[in-house]
Amino acid sequence: MKFIKALSCATVLAGCVFSGASAADMTVGFSQIGSESGWRAAETTVTKQEAEKRGIDLKFADAQQKQENQIKALRSFIAQGVDAIFVAPVVATGWDEVLGEAKDANIPVILLDRTVDADKSLYMTAVTSDLVHEGNVAGKWLVDTTAGKPCNVVELQGTTGSSPAIDRKKGFEEALKGHDNLKIVRSQTGDFTRTKGKEVMESFLKAENGGKNICALYAHNDDMAVGAIQAIKEAGLKPGTDILVVSIDAVPDIFQAMAAGEANATVELTPNMAGPAFDALAAFKKDGKEPPKWIQTESKLYTQADEPQKVYEAKKGLGY
Please list, in sequence order, all residues whose beta carbon lies within 8 angstroms of the beta carbon of residue 21, skipping any fewer than 6 positions away: 2, 285
- Choice between 193 and 264, CB closer to ligand GZL: 193
CB 298 within 8 A of CB 276: no
Rounded distance, CA 63 to CA 186, Å? Answer: 30
- Choice between 39 and 284, CB closer to ligand GZL: 39
Rounded distance, CA 172 to CA 75, Å? Answer: 36
Rounded distance, CA 184 to CA 168, Å? Answer: 14
Rounded distance, CA 174 to CA 208, Å? Answer: 24
Q: If binding is defined by CB under 6 A, does position 194 make contact with ligand GZL?
A: no
Size of the site for ligand GZL (CB under 6 A): 13
CB 217 within 8 A of CB 246: yes
Q: If binding is defined by CB under 6 A, does position 253 make contact with ligand GZL?
A: no
CB 270 within 8 A of CB 242: no
Q: If binding is defined by CB under 6 A, does position 247 make contact with ligand GZL?
A: no
Give the ranges where the chain is alpha helix by DSSP (H): 2-12, 38-54, 67-80, 96-104, 131-146, 163-176, 194-207, 222-234, 252-259, 274-287, 308-315
Q: How far is the CB of 25 from ligand GZL (least distance, A)?
A: 30
Q: How far is the CB of 96 from ligand GZL (least distance, A)?
A: 20
Q: If binding is defined by CB under 6 A, does position 167 make contact with ligand GZL?
A: no
Centroid of chain to Cα 4: 29
Rounded distance, CA 192 to CA 106, Å? Answer: 34
Q: How far is the CB of 39 from ligand GZL (least distance, A)?
A: 4
Q: If binding is defined by CB under 6 A, does position 86 make contact with ligand GZL?
A: no
Q: How far is the CB of 161 from ligand GZL (least distance, A)?
A: 12
Centroid of chain to Cα 97: 23
Q: If binding is defined by CB under 6 A, does position 196 make contact with ligand GZL?
A: no
Rounded distance, CA 130 to CA 123, Å? Answer: 18
- Choice between 86 and 192, CB closer to ligand GZL: 192
Spell out, one character per residue from 266 to 295, where the chain touches ligand GZL: x when CB under 6 A holds, - when not.
Answer: ---x--------------------------
- Choice between 114 and 196, CB closer to ligand GZL: 114
Out of 3, 192, 255, 302, the residue judged to bind ligand GZL by CB under 6 A: 192
- Choice between 84 and 132, CB closer to ligand GZL: 132
Out of 28, 46, 74, 113, the residue judged to bind ligand GZL by CB under 6 A: 113
For residues 10-39, which are near ligand GZL according to CB under 6 A?
36-37, 39
Q: How far is the CB of 225 from ligand GZL (least distance, A)?
A: 10
- How is 39-75 classified by DSSP, letter by letter? HHHHHHHHHHHHHHHHT-EEEEEE-TT-HHHHHHHHH
Out of 114, 169, 196, 285, the residue judged to bind ligand GZL by CB under 6 A: 114
Out of 40, 54, 169, 285, the residue judged to bind ligand GZL by CB under 6 A: 40
Rounded distance, CA 129 to CA 39, Å? Answer: 13
Q: If binding is defined by CB under 6 A, does position 249 make contact with ligand GZL?
A: yes
- Choice between 65 and 264, CB closer to ligand GZL: 65
154 residue type, one letter: V
- Choice between 85 and 254, CB closer to ligand GZL: 254
Task: Find residue 125's DSSP bridge partners.
Answer: 110
The binding site for ligand GZL (CB under 6 A) comprises: 36-37, 39-40, 113-114, 164, 192, 221, 223, 248-249, 269
